[in-house]
Amino acid sequence: MASKDDERVLCVPTSEVDALGHFQGFERDADRYLAYLLKPGIAKFVRRGDCETDPSLKQIIPYVVFWSGDRVFNYTRGSSQGESRLHALKSIGVGGHVAEEDAAGGCTAEAYEMALKRELDEEVRIDVPGRMLLAGLINDDSSPVGQVHLGVVHLYHLDAPAVHPLEDGLAAAGFIKLAQARDSIHEFETWSQIVLANLLKQDNEPPLA
């Protein structure tokens, strides 16, 4: 089996992200950033082992948050999750890297969408209808892991809290009340903290407009 370090994953130059407007934390205008970044000549595939410690590159990571009523899906990252620096932390986001195999290696929005669908199909089973919205971007330059990743946040609003993990890496998975997540926010990875602070502020409906 090939090493994860030898996988080729979709990256963009950090300088190109900053040229569009550097931000720390959350940025709602994801459409403007992705329209520019997800095209050949800007985005490129890089060996994962080379970009994991190179802050001149940002790995593009789909980050899907499942929401139903006043509850949000959460889990604890197990050892089979790809980013070892996040193991044992709680998360509300499901997703992963955009691999070169997605959409035949094209550095495009279509490749991103293929990766998003693949990650969801591999990691969870969704048993009810829902609708998904592109909600924003996460950039966190305060930690080594954050410096080399750019999160693309999708809110997935479900008719009922019915999502089941398909991987052991999503341990102790299930829906909890949003108030409970906020009360224990420091148990979560930084990206989840950013989403909780910037998007999931109310206990009823998420911002889908």
- The pLDDT profile of the chain, 209 residues, written as one tens digit per residue, is 568 889 999 999 999 999 999 999 999 999 999 999 998 889 999 999 999 999 999 999 999 999 999 999 999 987 544 555 545 799 999 999 999 888 676 778 888 999 999 999 999 999 999 999 999 999 999 999 999 999 999 999 999 999 999 998 899 999 999 999 999 999 999 999 999 998 876 555 555 44
User: Coil, helix or strand for 142?
Assistant: coil
Structural domains for the chain: 4-198 (3.90.79.10)
User: Coil, helix or strand for 76?
Assistant: strand
User: Coil, helix or strand for 79?
Assistant: coil
Place of tokens 């900053």: 18
